[in-house]
């Protein structure tokens, strides 16, 4: 595990996985405003930001791109949590209807093996709108 990361790296494209590239920052007109763009050469997804300095705009566009890149993983995690919860409820119901059923045991085993047997601190996720 290396902790040194002098520059923030751009994460792969959330849509196709291609390594993106940044263009800019360049000054817009004479307004002391700079713009930078992160663009995916694979599917042409892109995101741009404007800010009052070169450094700020570069960091801003990197950050916003990386947040977006992580979104699918978070969505997948939420789906997993929901399915695990549903499975635990099904196991409870099955245990009531048919105590000691093999499928219920197998399902519980599976949940335990994958660390999904219960999530007391179910975190609330804040939606970020773009
Ligand atoms: Zn892409």
CA of 13 to the centre of ligand 1 (A): 5
Residues 6-23: what's their mean pLDDT?
A: 85
Instruction: Enter the tokens of residue 103.
Output: 């499928």
- Whole-angstrom Cα distance, residue 93 to residue 12? 42
CA of 75 to the centre of ligand 1 (A): 18
CA of 72 to the centre of ligand 1 (A): 13
pLDDT above 70 covers a percentage of the chain that reads 85
Three-state SS for 19? coil
More confident residue, 36 or 114: 36
The DSSP code sequence of 22-53 is: EEEEEEETTTTEEEEEEE-TTT--EEEEEESS
pLDDT attached to residue 7: 54
What letter does residue 121 receive in the DSSP assignment? S
- Whole-angstrom Cα distance, residue 79 to residue 28? 42
Backbone angles phi, psi at 125, to 5 degrees: -100, 140
Decide: pTM greater than 0.75: no
- Whole-angstrom Cα distance, residue 61 to residue 73? 20
pLDDT attached to residue 77: 85
Ion ligand 1 contact residues with beta carbon within 5 A: 13, 15-16, 18, 40, 42-43, 45
pLDDT tens figures, 94-108? 999 999 999 999 999
pLDDT tens figures, 65-121? 998 888 777 878 888 888 999 999 999 999 999 999 999 999 999 999 988 887 554
């Amino acid at each position: 595990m290396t902790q040194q990361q002098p520059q923030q790296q751009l994460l792969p494209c959330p849509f196709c996985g291609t390594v993106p590239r940044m263009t800019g920052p360049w000054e817009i007109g004479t307004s002391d405003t700079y713009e930078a763009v992160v663009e995916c050469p694979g599917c042409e997804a892109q995101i741009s930001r404007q800010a009052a300095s070169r450094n700020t705009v570069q960091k801003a566009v990197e950050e916003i791109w990386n947040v977006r890149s992580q979104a699918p993983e978070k969505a997948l995690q939420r789906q997993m949590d929901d399915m695990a919860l549903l499975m635990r409820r099904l196991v409870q119901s099955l245990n009531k209807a048919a105590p000691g059923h093999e499928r219920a045991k197998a399902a519980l085993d599976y949940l335990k093996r994958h660390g999904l047997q219960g999530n007391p601190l179910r975190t609330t996720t804040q939606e970020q709108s773009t």
